[in-house]
Structure 1
Amino acid sequence: MKGWRDLEIGALITEPGNSAEYKTGEWRAWRPVFNRENCIDCMICWVFCPDSSIIVKDKKVVGIDYDHCKGCGICAHECPKSKGDDESKKALVMKPEYLFREED
């Protein structure tokens, strides 16, 4: 399997665009929940995220930008550590957004 560094220049967007001014994650129905302990830092989630919502520091995935994440689930689907049924071993798990909403 090729890593993200093997992709040709221009094959992916490494910086978020003008959406920094606009929060686009407020209509999300599902939220990716990141488990740092299970992450192998392969960067596949970062490559596939269409919203550049995977936060990376010092070549390690450190979290998710929920202001811009739309909850599509591509990150969790592509993550090699998120295959199978054992949720305790997954690096990314999709959970319903209502579990994280505060009561008004």
Structure 2
Amino acid sequence: MGLSKELVLPISKPSRGASGKTGTWRVFKPVIDLQKCVKCWQCWLLCPEETILADDVPTVDYDYCKGCGVCAKICPAKAITMVEERE
């Protein structure tokens, strides 16, 4: 009996947690400049919270985005900037 070489990755989808929507405590939020965006989808692929939505252009689900900045760091076109959250 051999071991399976199939790779299984756990995937979690953004959802309301026990204390509500998780984006409410973020300090910085990503803002996408669609004029610079080359639609490489690296932000969507590497977002640890899966809050980058893949429509015609990438958009951010701010209800659940925690503002980690991974998307801004990996964007090859520098189309994503982290902007201070304002109330």
The normalised TM-score by structure 1 is 0.66
**CA separation in 2, counterparts of 1:46 and 1:12?**
16
Cα drift, residue 70 of structure 1: 0.2
Q: Which runs of 5+ in 2 are unaligned?
A: 1-6
Alpha-carbon shift at residue 20 of structure 1 (Å)? 2.1
| Residue 73 (1) aligns with residue 69 (2) | yes
Contact kept, 8 Å, 1:25 with 1:67, in 2: the verdict is yes
Which residue pairs with 2:42 in the alignment? 44
**How far does residue 41 in structure 1 lie from its aligned partner after superposition?**
0.6
Q: Unaligned regions of 5+ residues in structure 1, if any?
A: 1-8, 83-90
Q: Aligned residue for 1:92?
A: 80
- Shift in Å, 1:55: 1.1
- Letter of the 1:44 partner, please give it: Q
CA shift digits 1:61-89 (9 cap, x unpaired): 2x10000100000000000011xxxxxxx
TM-score scaled by length of structure 2: 0.77
| Structure 1 residue 10: Cα displacement | 5.1
C-alpha distance in structure 2 between counterparts of 1:77 and 1:11, whole Å? 23
Identical-residue share of aligned pairs (%): 40
The higher relative CO (CA closer than 8 Å, separation ≥ 6) is in 2
Q: Does structure 1 retain, via aligned residues, the 8 Å contact 2:43–2:52?
A: yes
The residue identity in structure 2 corresponding to 1:48 is L
Equivalent residues in 2 for 1:16-31 (5 A)?
A: 17=13, 19-22=14-17, 23-31=21-29
Contact 1:12 1:47 survives alignment (8 Å) = no
**Which runs of at least 4 in structure 1 moved beyond 3 Å after TM superposition?**
9-13
Deviation at 1:21, TM superposition (A): 2.7
The structure carrying a bigger helix percent of its residues is 1
The aligned counterpart of 2:3 is: none
